[in-house]
Structures are given as structure tokens and as C-alpha cells.
């Protein structure tokens, strides 16, 4: 199945946001960007670099600008969905009854394309070591199989689990998160794999 067929299938399966997503697609397709599917969502690239993508959620739909940190945002549309975590990505959310103004959307996309052509890119800083929370370390000591499965995961998946468990402020929440994660670790899946299916 080629990319345009995959994108058509994505739109065919839409219910709540179908018209809005289709309108955004029509705007983006006026540009030179190539339409692809990444992480199960329509993504638009230039020379293999992701420029903008769209995603649907329960209460909103969004345009994701992969190097949105460089956009001027003169209409004050962009947010950082995870302040302090997300560095380059910026999101433009559309909620129910929000008007999609094609000329403004196109203005943002064309600026993102120009930034991509100019080589503006904030590359992620790769973390070297993984800090294993003591609760997870204790679980490894009690269950060698759990530790073995954890070590078979990619460093990124290991880090996701370690941070998810370790960042909980209350010990009860850490324990609850650990219990949720154990079967996933043993099945060899990442914490966020369900969002990455293509």
C-alpha cells in the first residue's frame, strides 16, 4: 500500500474530525511537501525531513510542526504540548467550532518549509545513561526474568519505563505504574508503542 492510499485510509476511518482534517490536508497539498504516513498519522516531508503532521484526539485535532520552535508564530497559535520536555516540536490545536483559516494555516506551513530549506533544525540531545528508580531495581532483584526482558528492550524503551516510574511523586503512584509496566516489559513492548503504529 503506497503512502497516498494509507492517507486515504486514515481519512476514511475518521468520524469526529473528518471534514477539518480533510480541509487541512487540502491546504498542505497546495505546497511542495510529500504526503506520507508516520506513526499512523499523515505527515508531510521535504527531502525526507518531517515538516508538519496532523493528528486527531478526543477533544481536538492538531497540526504538529516538527521544527516549530523556529516559527515566528505571529498569530499566537502554537503551544509546546510538553513544556520542559519537548524542545523543537510545536502544536496548533483546533477544538470543536474553531475556524480553520486557510491563508493563516498556509502561512505557517510555508514558513516551516522555508525554515527546513534553510537548515533550521534543533536536534534532540541524546541522553547517555538510564537512571533506574530504586522501586524498579527492587523488582529486578525479586524477578530475574523481568530484568532480563528489560535488558532486551532498546535504550529508548528502557528510558521511557524508568522515567515513567521514577517521575511519579508519590510512592503509591510509582508502585501502581510499576505494576502496569511489568506485563508490557515482559511482552517486549515499549510504553508508548501503541501511539507509534504505522
Q: Identify the CATH number of the domain defined by range 3-117.
A: 3.90.1150.200
| Beta strands per DSSP E along the chain | 34-38, 41-46, 49-56, 60-65, 78-79, 90-95
> To the nearest whole percent, how much of the chain has pLDDT over 70?
93
The predicted pLDDT at position 38 comes to: 85
The predicted pLDDT at position 99 comes to: 92
Mean predicted lDDT score pLDDT of the chain: 87
Starting at the earlier edge strand, list the strands of the sheet with 78-79.
Answer: 34-38, 41-46, 49-56, 60-65, 90-95, 78-79
Out of 24-33, 118-127, 133-142, 159-168, the most confident range is: 24-33
Does residue 188 have a pLDDT over 70? yes
Which residue has cell 508564530?
73
pLDDT tens per residue across span 129-157: 788 888 889 889 999 899 999 999 888 88
pTM of the model: 0.63
Q: How far apart are CA 17 and CA 26, in angstroms?
A: 14
Taking the domains of the chain in order of start, what are their residue ranges?
A: 3-117, 134-192
> What secondary structure does DSSP assign to 146-187, as a single string?
HHHHHHHS-HHHHHHHHHHHHT-SSHHHHHHHHHHHHHHHHT
Q: How far apart are CA 180 and CA 188, in angstroms?
A: 14
> What mean pLDDT comes out for the span 166-192?
89
Q: How far apart are CA 131 and CA 165, in angstroms?
A: 11
pLDDT tens per residue across span 87-111: 889 999 999 889 999 999 999 999 9
The predicted pLDDT at position 195 comes to: 61
pLDDT tens per residue across span 160-175: 898 898 888 888 899 9
- pLDDT category at 45 given cuts 50, 70, 90 is very high
- pLDDT category at 63 given cuts 50, 70, 90 is very high
Q: How far apart are CA 196 and CA 82, in angstroms?
A: 18
> What mean pLDDT comes out for the span 24-45?
91
Amino acid at each position: 500500500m503506497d503512502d497516498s492510499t494509507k492517507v486515504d485510509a486514515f481519512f476514511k476511518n475518521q468520524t469526529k474530525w473528518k471534514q477539518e482534517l480533510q480541509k487541512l490536508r487540502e491546504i498542505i497539498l497546495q505546497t511542495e511537501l510529500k504526503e506520507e504516513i508516520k506513526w499512523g498519522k499523515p505527515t508531510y516531508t521535504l527531502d525526507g525531513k518531517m515538516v508538519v503532521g496532523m493528528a486527531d484526539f478526543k477533544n481536538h485535532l492538531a497540526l504538529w510542526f516538527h521544527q516549530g520552535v523556529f516559527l515566528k508564530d505571529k498569530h499566537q497559535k502554537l503551544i509546546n504540548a510538553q513544556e520542559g520536555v519537548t524542545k523543537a516540536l510545536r502544536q496548533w490545536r483546533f477544538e470543536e467550532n474553531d475556524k480553520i483559516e486557510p491563508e493563516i494555516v498556509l502561512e505557517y506551513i510555508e514558513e516551516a518549509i522555508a525554515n527546513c530549506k534553510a537548515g533550521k533544525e534543533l536536534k534532540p540531545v541524546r541522553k547517555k545513561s538510564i537512571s533506574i528508580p530504586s522501586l524498579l531495581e527492587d523488582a529486578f532483584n525479586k524477578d530475574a526474568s523481568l530484568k532480563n526482558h528489560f535488558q532486551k528492550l532498546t535504550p529508548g524503551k528502557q528510558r521511557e519505563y524508568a522515567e515513567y516510574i521514577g517521575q511519579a511523586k508519590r510512592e503509591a503512584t510509582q508502585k501502581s505504574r510499576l505494576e502496569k509496566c511489568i506485563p508490557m516489559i515482559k511482552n517486549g513492548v515499549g510504553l508508548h508503542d501503541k501511539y507509534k503504529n504505522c
